[in-house]
Amino acid sequence: MPYYVSFDRAGYLIGRNFVYPDYRLQFPKYYGYTLRHLRAQIRIKVNEKAIEGLSEYNIDIPPGKNFIELNAAEMRIVSVKVDGQDTKFEYDGRTLRIYVNSGSHVAQVSYEAKPRKGLYFVLPDEHYRDRVPMVWTQGESEDNHYWLPMPDYPNAKFTSELLIIVPKPWTAVSNGILVETKDLGNELLWHWRLDKPHSAYLVALAAGEFEVVKEDCDGITIEHYVPRGHSNRARFSFYRTCDMIKFYSEYTGVKYPWPNYKHVAVSEFIYGGMENTTITIVTDTTLHDEHAHCPGSKFPCPGMEDFTSDGLVAHELAHQWFGDYVTTKDWANIWLNEAFATYFEALYMEYAKGRDEFLYELYQNLRSYLNEYGNRYARPIVTRLYKDPEEMFDRHTYEKGSLVLHALRNLLGDEAFRKGINLYLTRHAHSNADTEDLRKALEEVSGQPLDWFFTQFVYSSGHPVIKYSWSYDPGNKFIKLSVSQTQGDDSYPIYRLPLEFEIKYPSGKVDIFRFELNEREVAIYIPTSERPQYICLDPQFKLGVKSVSSDKGFEEAIAELSSDNLMCRLEAIDALAKDGSARSVDGLSKALMGDTFWGVRAEAARALGRVGTEDALKALLNVLSNEIHPRVRQAIVEALGNFKGNENVAKVLVSVLENTSESYYVRSRVAQSLGKLGIPDYSRYLIKALDYPSHNYVITQGALQGLSELGTDEAIDTLIKYTELGKPTLVRMIATQSLGKFIGIRRVYDRVRELLRDQYYRVRYAAVSAAESSLDPRFLDILDDLASKDLDGRIRRYARDVARKIREHMQRGVEYARLREEIERIREEQRRIMDRMDRMEAKG
């Protein structure tokens, strides 16, 4: 089946493979009344996994309207009152309509619910007896109305207070400040209030057996709630929080806009983190010990971290400005929340860890976006053509969006960018905004029209694909620089691109050549008396969102490894990996041994693994014994997995795997690589490694991945065993995903079908991934069912995409069969013709 490229009515490029035929334009919801304040009392009934609620609404209703509607899913409505009197209401299981006259009123709703989403009970059970019991909410995108009747959309903003009744000795946390706690005998009441308006999806609670770690940040109270018994790990995860608050306040010119800030680490969270106003809920998998953070050295080991929560903490904290203080008007503009949080996370890394860390993070963002673009779909960052809001929370919104903001910052200059951000935040404080509001703020402070930029990069799909080459004419003393845009039909036809090239000469001189590319192809002549050693496009990564190719020889690439700019050195490594000659291996080896930035050394190690020669292997083994940065060591042992069947490599990997002073994450990579070597005798080391203790069971995960590479009967049985309830969710997820290689085996196929119905989101998602790996049409029935009925919008979308991919694969198979039949028919006709010719010749 072909992919579809189309334009909307405004002429913006819709993209490829994102829009399904049943999609319709989505616009902001309009409720027709104003909710000023929401007060709710929630009693958590742990044994029943249910809640009893009494919610109260201060509302203003305009003239001519005689009812309000609240989103309220799967509840039992006990009673409804307005101004203390019973009133008429209608309820269909999804929407509660309350009849009330215009004016200001107080409405009350008494209800009961056993939420299937929005509010989650994580309790000890027969499979997980040692769990710390807890309850937590996840409202984004529109799930809060499964536990609290409300106008559940981002443009509904109001002040709120929650009175949460929990069993002793539980702690309950919510938005804002703690007003009081009250002893109710066998229960405790925790009363939290936020007096500044925020959006419906940001109302949150978490309750359970928590310990709290407190700190003061220039008068702002910061609290970290962690499951009982884990308070000693909070400092490794959250120690930079105050520094981040100060940085964001200074960079935006807007002081932290809320009364306090809290983290709550919870089990089985379905995201990495969620930025509820003043109460960020994060996965407890981000809690880690000192060895996970700093293997072989003392905390905080700046620049040498192995596992760090800094990215997660910085991202969610940035939302307190971008998303909570100013909130997207609708889901079509969600990049205003997520791209800003992703980019400000990177900006903090630049401030705290240096320029190279910042650029390397953006480089990883580009890779992530390009992976989604290449393997799944292309869409505009802002689009109204979607079905579920969750579809908008993808790599286009986060990573591509962050790169677009980076390009804007470089286009306008840092000062104008910061002033524009300040204007955007202050103008829309405690309110909603859309992309045009951002554009207008940036245009106002910079004096530049930006409609062309937003049309190219925000409202249209795809990205520029730039190819460049150069030659030197010694007679006429000029460089001929040829640059072209080669993007396909799913991208903007011809981009307007401000480009920079770094030109390095043998004399040591470095020039920066700038011009604006606004054609498909252009040739530029640059006068110079020297032949360049190398030319590098976008040396400081100012353009960000792009794909680049060049015909760079190994001598030029080796010279480029000496550039002061990280992006040029990374470009050189890519070129050397493609060349693969002995000279290229020498250059990569020097980069691996001597580059000052760990990210370059790691990329050089992976490049040597792809080259795969004996000289490359010697370089990797030599550096492994001396390199101390754990992330570079991860890359080295990962690269060693490419040397299949090599017993010497296997012995080295085993020695690292069994070294308990080694990084957890290095040992996990070792286990994967040991399996990739394909030597069955070494499976015993992987079986043993399944029981090695590690942060988030990463060594167990690596051992399972290694066993999946070996693919023996014992390995397959082990994978199936580790998908069982009782195993940690992250382990079950990896085991499930790994089964995708063996779907042809009946017991594997049957198990994956079971796992597609698993109660845990991460396991179901991994099972869909296993189905995708196999492209087995036997999964179509259950994938279609998940695409229409699964509670999680992310799984609904993923299952639908995988089902489409399987059908396309089947169609190609049919087309291939038809082609083979046609070829055979032509061959048969040719044979008959040749036979007739032979007979005619014989007669003659």
Same domain, 447 and 508: no
| CATH (domain of 391) | 1.10.390.10
Strands (DSSP E) found in 405-540: 431-433, 465-473, 478-485, 497-504, 510-517, 521-527, 534-537
Residue 821 pLDDT? 72
Q: Indicate if 191 and 95 belong to the same structural domain.
A: yes
Same domain, yes or no: 251 and 270? yes
Cβ proximity of 250 and 352 under 8 Å:
no
Show the tokens assigned to 546: 């792009």
Same domain, 186 and 298: no
Give pLDDT, residue 7.
52
What is the residue type of 248?
A: Y
Report the distance separating Cα 52 and Cα 74, nearest Å: 13
Pairing of strands 157-167, 34-45: parallel
Within-domain flag for 195: yes
What is the pLDDT, as a whole number, of residue 143? 98
Tell me whether residue 766 is in a domain: yes
Angle at 460 (CA atoms; ends 458, 461), nearest 5 degrees: 105
Integer distance in angstroms from the first to the last C-alpha of the chain?
Answer: 51
Residues 503, 535 contacting (CB under 8 angstroms): yes
Number of Cβ within a 10 Å radius of residue 814: 9
Which burial class, exposed, middle or buried, applies to 178 when counting CB atoms under 10 A from its CB (0-12, 13-18, 19+)?
Answer: middle
Whether residue 472 sits in one domain with residue 416:
no
- Supply φ then ψ for residue 98, to 5 degrees: -115, 125
Q: Beta-strand (E) ranges in 204-253? A: 205-208, 210-217, 220-227
Residue the block writes with tokens 């962690």: 226
Q: For residue 662, tell me if it sits in a domain.
A: no
Taking the C-alpha atoms of residue 398 and residue 318, their distance in angstroms, rounded to an integer, is 13
Q: What is the pLDDT of residue 9?
A: 43
| Peptide bond connecting 160 to the previous residue in cis, omega within 30 degrees of 0 | no
Q: How many CB atoms lie within 10 A of CB 604?
A: 33
Number of domains observed in the structure of the chain: 5
Looking only at the bridges linking them, the beta strands covering 326-328 and 431-433 are parallel
Same domain, 396 and 499: no
C-alpha dihedral, 345 to 350 to 356 to 358, nearest 10°? 20
Tell me, yes or no, whether 644 lies in a domain: no
CB 87 within 8 A of CB 109: no
**In order along the chain (844 residues), what is the average pLDDT of each group of 10 residues?**
42 83 96 98 98 98 96 98 98 98 98 98 97 98 98 98 98 98 98 98 98 97 97 96 98 98 98 98 98 95 96 98 98 98 98 98 98 98 97 98 98 98 98 98 98 98 98 97 97 97 97 97 97 98 96 95 98 96 96 98 98 97 97 98 98 98 98 98 97 98 98 97 98 98 97 98 98 97 98 97 96 73 69 60 47
Residues 318 and 409 both lie in one domain: no
Residue 140: CB partners within 8 Å, gap ≥ 6? Answer: 201, 202, 274
SS3 for 234? helix
Structural domain contains residue 703: no
Instruction: Give phi and psi for 8, each to the nearest 5.
Output: -85, -175
> In the chain, what's the furthest Cα-to-Cα distance?
114
- 324, 346, 377: which is the final residue of a domain? 324
Cα–Cα distance for residue pair 466/447, rounded to 1 Å: 29
What is the distance between the alpha carbons of residues 434 and 336, in angstroms, rounded to a whole number? 7
pTM greater than the 0.85 cutoff:
yes
For residues 367 and 284, membership in a common domain is answered with: no
In a domain, 63, yes or no: yes
Between CA 274 and CA 319 the distance in angstroms is: 9
252/371 same-domain check: no
Q: Which two tokens stand for residue 253?
A: 């010119």
CATH code of residue 476: 2.60.40.1840
Q: What is the pLDDT of residue 814?
A: 72
Tell how far CA 126 is from the center of its chain: 33
Q: Which of 269, 290, 324 is the last residue of a domain?
A: 324
Are the C-beta atoms of residues 175 and 279 closer than 8 Å to each other? yes
Residue 160 is predicted with a pLDDT of 98
What's the confidence (pLDDT) of residue 8?
Answer: 52
Whether residue 447 sits in one domain with residue 349: yes
The pLDDT assigned to 14 comes to 84
87 and 118 inside one domain: yes
Residue 46 lies in a domain: yes
One-letter-per-residue 3-state SS of 597-661:
CHHHHHHHHHHHHHHCCHHHHHHHHHHHCCCCCHHHHHHHHHHHCCCCCCHHHHHHHHHHHCCCC
On whether residue 584 sits in a domain, the answer given is no
Residue type, 765: Y
* End-of-domain residue from the set 265, 289, 324: 324
Range of the domain at 521: 465-551
- CATH code for position 139: 2.60.40.1730
Are both 383 and 245 inside the same structural domain? no
